[in-house]
Structure 1
Amino acid sequence: MSGWIAVALLTLLTGAALWRMKMPLLPVGFALAVGLAGYLLTSNPALPSKPAPPRAIDANAAPQLEIARKRLLQNTGDVGAWLMFADILSHEGKTAQAVEGLSLAAKAMPDVPDLWVGLGNALTRHADGFVTPAARLAFGRASEIDPTHPGPYYFLGLAWLQAGEPDEALKVWQDLYARSPEDAPYRPELERLMRGARAMMAAGIDGGRFPGADDNAPALEQR
C-alpha cells in the first residue's frame, strides 16, 4: 500500500470512528495535518516506505511553509493553505507529492473549484509544463463547478497551444480576456499569451511547451 493511501485511510477511518463516538475531530485533524506535512516533505508518497534523508527547504520558502503549516493546524480544510503547501512542494522539486496532496484534498472537498484548478496546475508542473489529459480532467471538473473561474480556460488555451492549435488557444484566451474584469491580475499574462499565439500562427510554429508555462503561470487557483 502506498504511503498516501495509508494516510488517506487513516484520516477517513479516524474521522469516522470519532464521529460515531461523538468525539471532537479538530485535535485529531491537527495531528494528521502536521504528520501529513512532514511526510510530504521528507518522503515520496508514491513509493513504498523506505529510509530517506530529508531534503533541505530553500531559505526563501521556509517562512511560507511555516505559514501554511500554522494555517493547517488551525483548520485542516483551509484551501489556501493546501494550495500554498503544494506550491512550495512543486518549487522544491517535489511535484509528485504536490499532485498527490492536492488529489487527496480535492477528493475530500470535491466541490471546491480552486482545489481542482490547483491539482490541474500541479499535474502540469509535474509534466514539465505540458497540460496532460489528467490535468484537463481536473480543469474540466473545476469548470463544471464554477463556469466563471478563469483557471480552466487559461490552461485549456495552453493545452490547445501545445497541441499545435494556436488559433483555438487564441479563441479561448480572447473569450476569457473579454469577460475578465479590467483589474484582473492575470490579464497581462493573457495578453502575453495571446501575442505568442498570434506569433505562432504567423510563423506556422507547431505546438509545444510554452516558455514559462510552469513557473510563470499566474496564480489562478484562487481569484
Structure 2
Amino acid sequence: MSWIAVVALAVGAFLVAAFVLRVNRAGWTVLGAALLFGLTGYALQGSPNQPASPGEAQEQNDVDGELLVEARREFFDTTQFPSRWIVTGDSYVRRGDFEAASGFYRNAVEEAPKDREAWLALGIALVEHADGRLTPAALEAFERAQLLDQANGGPRYFLGLAWLRSGEIERTRELWREAIESAPVDAPWRESLSQRLARLDEILRPQAVETPEN
C-alpha cells in the first residue's frame, strides 16, 4: 500500500466519522489526533510499500450499521414501518453484512418498484459492500430513489457521501445544496443537512493567508 493510499484512508475515516457517524465538532480534534497518532506509528514501524501477505487481509468496515440505518430513516416518516424486506435487510446492515442486506433490498424493489426507501437502502448497501465505491448498480439505485421523490434529500445526501469518499468534494457540495433547495420548508431533515453542509465547508475551507504589506 502506498503512502497516498494510507493518507486517503485516514482522510476517509475522518469524513465517515464526521458525516456518517456524526461525530460532533467537539470530537474532531480528538479524532484528528488519533488518526495523526496512527499515521505516525505507521511511519515508524509500517511498510507502506510492502505487499500484503496472503491470508492476512481482513474485511474492515468503518461504518456503524445501526447509525447507517438511523441516518437513512431520518429522511422518511419514522411513524411508518418500512416493508418486511427492508426490515430484514436492515438487520444485516447492523451486523455489517452488506452483501446479504443487498439481497433483501433487491427483493423489496422487485416486490414494490415504487418503494423509494427500498431503492435508497439498496444504493447504500451496494456502496458499503463495495468498500465505499460508487458502483453503476448503486448509482442506478440512488437515481431510481430520487426519481420517485424529487423532494426527498436522502438519495442526494447518500450519493454525495459516496462522492465525498471518492474525493469528489464539489459533487458532494452540489448534491447537498440541491437537496436543501428542493426540500419542503418543514422537512425535518433539512436543518440537519444544512448543518452538515456547513460543517463540510468548514473542514475544507482553506485558511486565509494575510499577505504582509510592503
- The TM-score, its normalising length taken from structure 1, stands at 0.49
Q: 2:127 matched to which residue of 1?
A: 124
Does 1:113 pair with 2:116? yes
Q: 1:161 matched to which residue of 2?
A: 164
Question: Deviation string for 1:41-80 (max 9, x for gaps)?
Answer: xxxxxxxxxxxxxxxxxxxx9xxxxxxxxxxxxxxxx843
Q: 2:106 matched to which residue of 1?
A: 103
Does 1:135 pair with 2:142? no
Does 1:174 pair with 2:177? yes
- The TM-score, its normalising length taken from structure 2, stands at 0.50
Question: Deviation string for 1:71-119 (max 9, x for gaps)?
Answer: xxxxxxx843322221111112322111011112212222222211111
Give the RMSD, CA atoms, in angstroms: 2.7
The structural deviation recorded for 1:138 is 0.4
Q: 2:95 matched to which residue of 1?
A: 92
**Contiguous gaps of at least 5 residues in structure 2:** 1-65, 67-80, 208-214
Distance 1:80 1:189, change over 3 A: farther
Matched AA of 1:193: R
Q: Within 1, Cα distance between the matches of 2:166 and 2:96?
A: 26
Q: Answer whether contact 1:131 1:155 (CA < 8 A) is retained.
A: no
Q: Answer whether contact 1:161 1:197 (CA < 8 A) is retained.
A: no
Q: Within 2, Cα distance between the matches of 1:79 and 1:90?
A: 15
Q: Within 2, Cα distance between the matches of 1:199 and 1:132?
A: 29
Q: Comparing 195-204 with 161-170, which one deviates more in the overlay?
A: 195-204
Q: Answer whether contact 1:124 1:131 (CA < 8 A) is retained.
A: yes
Q: Tell me the percent identity.
A: 34
Question: Deviation string for 1:8-65 (max 9, x for gaps)?
Answer: xxxxxxxxxxxxxxxxxxxxxxxxxxxxxxxxxxxxxxxxxxxxxxxxxxxxx9xxxx
Q: 1:197 matched to which residue of 2?
A: 200
Q: Within 1, Cα distance between the matches of 2:137 and 2:199?
A: 25
Q: Answer whether contact 2:85 2:107 (CA < 8 A) is retained.
A: no
Distance 1:161 1:96, change over 3 A: same
Matched AA of 1:142: A
Q: 1:148 matched to which residue of 2?
A: 151
Length, aligned pairs only: 128
Matched AA of 2:87: M
Distance 1:133 1:193, change over 3 A: farther
For residues 74-85 of structure 1, the aligned pairs below 5 Å read 79-85=82-88
Question: Deviation string for 1:119-169 (max 9, x for gaps)?
Answer: 112222323444433211101112223322322111222233233232221
Q: Answer whether contact 1:140 1:152 (CA < 8 A) is retained.
A: yes
**Contiguous gaps of at least 5 residues in structure 1:** 1-60, 62-77, 205-223
Q: Answer whether contact 2:92 2:100 (CA < 8 A) is retained.
A: yes
